[in-house]
Amino acid sequence: MQHDSKFTNQKFKLVGTRVMRPDGVDKVTGRARYGADTFAPGQLVGAILRSPHAHAKIRGIDTRRAEKLAGVKAVITSADLPDLTDGDAELYNVLENCMARGKALYDGHAVAAVAASDAETARKALKLIKVDYKVLPHVTDVDEAMKPAAPIVQPRVRSKYRPGKRTNVAGVTTYGHGDVDAGFAKADVIIEKSYKTEQVHQGYIEPHACLASVGPDGQGELWVTTQGQFAFRNRCAALLGMEMSQLKVTSSEIGGGFGGKTHVWAEPVALALSRKANRPVKLVMSREDVFRASGPASSTSIDVKLGATRGGRIVAAHAELRYGGGAFPGIWGEIGAMAAWACYDIENVRSVGYEVVVNRPKVAAYRAPSAPMAGFAVESTVTLMAEKLGIDPVEFRLKNAAREGTRASYGPTYGPIGIVPTLEAVKKHPHMRARLGKNQGRGMACGFWFNFGGQTCADLAIGEDGTVALSVGTVDVGGARASLSLIAAEELGIPYEQVRCNIADTASLGYNDMTDGSRGTFSSGMATIFAARDAIEQLRQRAAKTWGIAVKNVAWKDGKAIAKGKRKSLTLKELAEASSNTGGPISGHNQVVADGAGVSFASHICDVEVDPETGATKVVRYTVVQDAGKAVHPDYVEGQFQGGAAQGIGWALNEEYVYGEDGRLQNPGFLDYRIPVCSDLPFIDTQILEIPNPNHPYGIRGVGETSIVPPLAAIANAVSDAAGVRMTHVPMSPPRILAAIKSSREEQELTR
């Protein structure tokens, strides 16, 4: 992919500075409007009835009493969301997930919904709906679900796992190259180890919320907290049989998404309720609903086999990765298989990913989806191998790290990449030499993420006062408006304060892919640069016209049009003021498929203290080193590094979906689903490396996701060091650690 790369290594004036974010004041003063913060005249309150069973046939739903309740304006079931998917299997899965069709597939699966004049009436109406369930056997564990005798979650699932037969394995994918068996034959040391990770939720503060309105003329509007207004429009329009242009979707401010707001759940239901009630409907999920029925990350079960020579060279690697996708087929095992060995240069390498359906909510993306679990298994084994060979774990990784020109285990050949530089930085970091106290241990691990570019579109309109309105279509999840304004100002040569960046609704800008794959600043940054250049082209034309000279003789420098022989330059402001007489409004536009998102690498160092009598773990020091390509706004890059590490710490130590024997989620709330509180975290130190991405005009790589990949393994390596026992099950909660310490002590006593 050949993009303009002449700006690589250029000196920036604004890019790289730490300016105030434009959305900051509103957010700290409470003025910012999130998903639940908008109102329409005559709006109703929507509420969803959910299955209390993990797996049940729905023999009938009696909505008559609910419909008769005063204040109830609409009651819907799957009959009100007819199947318009026309053979599109993926879309059908979305439809079935939004509202159960004949069978409830997990605890929390929506079965009916109401719209009423107030919340109390809506709640009462839900209680009046009678659902006749026939409870079926269920399965929530990945390994159990793969057994031949397991209850079948989705009768329509077929794959090569059990050809021609019903199965819960929806797909098997293999990546790698070389001859793995021959590789293991050459190995001096082989390590085989199995790992498990439990299901986790992104834990965003803001629950899913929307205000939906469909009028009798068929025109609709949706205000919603989302990572992608265009994707939501397309999905909702397809599910409801609306034309795309008839549904305008506006993204609210977003209180966290991390991948969880890339999928529709309640939104099509809200639109269907509004259509039936002929009134706007506001639907806000409770925290319990969010846990039970949005899209957490997979639980996994992974086997790793690693072979190396005594000299420390990995000669063969193999991984089997089983990912629970919830009640619907996913691609999570495949992504895990692709990411597993991406940090290393291995001659003989293979990974097999399995997509397993279970009676749990449909899995959604969670920050570098699938990579943290694969990374946990691989990086734990890599450290074990280094220990066994008596080589320093950083040196061992350096010996085997991928470099420019390495053929990645998942196919492509790498360009300039950052794994070796992050490892070198770790080696030099004072953290690695700091003294450890009693019961403390240290671990480190690497992580990789692909990053994504995708379809992008930007508009840049210059006002007559010389200020710039930049419209982009990627939802701002982490400070992108500041970064994109910096980029526009840099390119135009004007002060940052002169640019205001807006997130456009679907009626105001061309299609944009969602803010996922760490693409927001990478891709909208690219489109912004090109849109600014488009505007500069016009500014030069206007100057040429004013001066009566050829355009080619006009240059653009530091926010001004200049030409040889002209004493006075024309500023952007002057050109804007005169624009009505020189050809009308001045604006720049760009649409691009932003290819060439550079892959991203990080290395993390972590110190923990484990209480050997209770199994409690405290993270005492944490350092993130990551390649950003170019850090447009270093504060927000550091924030992404710290945020990923913080989420990884929670995942590694305490977060987990706990299911009862009955297949019901036991902990759908923040009390017993334990994300870290402030006092659980140390200050997370960061170091930004800048290895420019040659495919981006400013050298930018996405930075949002990679930071959650190394923590699981870095912490597992540190805990194992501190506790003297290898931890292979995440979360490493106190009961698991204490049990491991006890059983290793018992083993030692037996062998003594």
Partner 1 sequence: MRYEAPTSTREAIALMSGAKGDAYLLAGGTDLLVRMRGEFIDPDLVVDIKRLPGIQEIRKTARGFSIGAGVPCAALGRHKPLLRAWPGVVEAAQLIGSDQIQGRCTIAGNLCNASPAADSVPALVAATAKAVIVGPGGRRRLAVEKIITGPGATSLGKGDIVSAIELPNRPPKSGDAYLRFIPRTEMDIAVCSAGVSLTLGPRNVVKQARVALGAVAPTVVLVPKAARAIVGTRLEDDALQRLAAACEAACSPIDDKRGTVEFRTEVAGVLARRAAVIAYERARKKR
* Interacting residues toward partner 1 by CB under 8 A: 123, 613-616, 618, 653-654, 658, 666-667, 671-672, 674, 676-677, 679-680, 733-735, 738-739
Q: How far is the CB of 727 from partner 1 (least distance, A)?
A: 15
Of 254 and 725, nearer to partner 1 (C-beta) is 725
Of 203 and 453, nearer to partner 1 (C-beta) is 203
**Residue 171: in which H helix or E strand, if any?**
strand 169-177
* Backbone phi and psi for residue 221, each to the nearest 5 degrees, phi listed first: -135, 145
Question: Locate tokens 């309720």: which residue?
Answer: 273
Paired sense of beta strands 617-627 and 684-689, if any: parallel
Helix axes 520-547, 480-492, angle to 10 degrees: 30
| DSSP annotation string for 68-96 | HSTTEEEEE-GGGS----TT-HHHHHHHH
Q: How far is the CB of 344 from partner 1 (least distance, A)?
A: 34
Of 601 and 651, nearer to partner 1 (C-beta) is 651
Q: How far is the CB of 674 from partner 1 (least distance, A)?
A: 6
Cα diameter, the chain: 95
Of 214 and 653, nearer to partner 1 (C-beta) is 653
| DSSP annotation string for 332-391 | HHHHHHHHTTTTB--SSEEEEEEEE--SSPPP---SSTTHHHHHHHHHHHHHHHHHHHT-
Round to whole Å and give the CA distance between 218 and 740: 61
Q: Residue 571 forms beta bridges with which residues? A: 560
Whether the Cβ atoms of residue 508 and residue 433 lie closer than 8 Å to each other: no
Q: Return the structure tokens found at 607.
A: 């110190």
Of 520 and 676, nearer to partner 1 (C-beta) is 676
Of 247 and 738, nearer to partner 1 (C-beta) is 738
Q: How far is the CB of 684 from partner 1 (least distance, A)?
A: 16
Instruction: Please give the C-alpha separations between residue 532 and each of 3, 9, 406, 595, 717, in angstroms, as whole numbers.
Output: 16, 20, 36, 19, 47
Q: Return the structure tokens found at 578.
A: 């005169």
Q: Return the structure tokens found at 145.
A: 């679900």
Of 469 and 616, nearer to partner 1 (C-beta) is 616
Of 478 and 615, nearer to partner 1 (C-beta) is 615
Q: How far is the CB of 589 from partner 1 (least distance, A)?
A: 49
Q: How far is the CB of 642 from partner 1 (least distance, A)?
A: 18
Q: How far is the CB of 738 from partner 1 (least distance, A)?
A: 6
Q: How far is the CB of 728 from partner 1 (least distance, A)?
A: 18
Q: Residue 621 forms beta bridges with which residues? A: 607
**Residue 321: in which H helix or E strand, if any?**
strand 314-324
Q: How far is the CB of 732 from partner 1 (least distance, A)?
A: 11
Of 479 and 615, nearer to partner 1 (C-beta) is 615
Of 594 and 730, nearer to partner 1 (C-beta) is 730
Helix axes 266-277, 229-240, angle to 10 degrees: 50
Q: How far is the CB of 288 from partner 1 (least distance, A)?
A: 9
Which class for 613: exposed (0-12), middle (13-18), buried (19 or more C-beta within 10 A)? Answer: exposed
Of 124 and 305, nearer to partner 1 (C-beta) is 124
Of 598 and 650, nearer to partner 1 (C-beta) is 650
Helix (H, G, I), strand (E, B) or coil at 98: helix
Of 188 and 680, nearer to partner 1 (C-beta) is 680
Q: How far is the CB of 654 from partner 1 (least distance, A)?
A: 5
Strands in 536-673 per DSSP E: 554-557, 560-563, 570-571, 586-593, 600-610, 617-627
Give every CB contact of residue 130 below 8 A, 6+ residues apart in sequence: 61, 62, 65
Q: How far is the CB of 739 from partner 1 (least distance, A)?
A: 7
Round to whole Å and give the CA distance between 431 and 446: 16
End-to-end CA distance of the chain: 61
Q: How far is the CB of 189 from partner 1 (least distance, A)?
A: 35
Helix (H, G, I), strand (E, B) or coil at 184: helix
